[in-house]
Amino acid sequence: MEKKENYRSKEWQKYIKRFKDYPPDHAYDAYKSEYYYEAVGVLHGFVESQLRHLLLAFSTLDQNNPSEIIWDINEKIDFRNLSNVLFVLQLITEKEYGILNSLNSLRNEIIHKYFYDPHDGIYYGVSNKKFLSIFKPSYNLSYDLMEKLDKMYEEQYEKTKNNS
């Protein structure tokens, strides 16, 4: 039985692509290697998952909503609206909100311009200056969001421990 399970595990490994680093670091390495499309796509996707997690944690820990109900609704909210909701709930600051909007705009600009036909044979993408001015703060924000989540769970743990 153990051999069969190992075979299945190895078989699935062929089909699963994993990041070599933590997603924000993978994105940063892609940026340094000039894979800008991958860099912004990975970072945007990771930040979006952190925003979903923040809303889920707030809704279940602070508001005591059942996670199965919140999970399904949370998955239907897009990046921009997640940012809006988290800002309204004061779970992110105005500065963080601005960074998130910039990252979303950068991602959209890169993704959509990539498929445009070049004008006069020239592809006009995003300038290096603009990319860098948005990418680095977004990279830093990804770690700040993880810290917020850790703090929320730590506070919940302390409440639970003190009530026991």
Question: SS3 of 116, please?
Answer: coil
Q: In the block, which residue shows the tokens 């600051």? A: 93
For residues 113 and 107, give the distance between their C-alpha atoms in angstroms, rounded to a whole number: 10
Band of pLDDT at residue 160, cut at 50, 70 and 90: confident
Q: What is the pTM of this model?
A: 0.83
Residues 33-40, mean pLDDT to the nearest whole number: 92
Name the least confident of 29-33, 111-115, 135-139: 111-115
What are the boundaries of each domain within the chain? Answer: 22-158
Cα–Cα distance, 25 to 4 (Å, whole number): 35
CA angle 135, 146, 54 (to 5 degrees): 105
Tokens of 156: 């919940």
Q: How far apart are CA 54 and CA 142, in angstroms?
A: 12
Which has more pLDDT, 6 or 84?
84
pLDDT digits 0-9 by tens, 75-125: 999 999 999 999 999 999 999 999 999 999 999 988 877 666 666 767 667
Residues 6+ apart with CB under 8 A from 29: 20, 21
Structure tokens at 79: 């990046």
User: What residues form DSSP beta bridges with 89?
Assistant: none
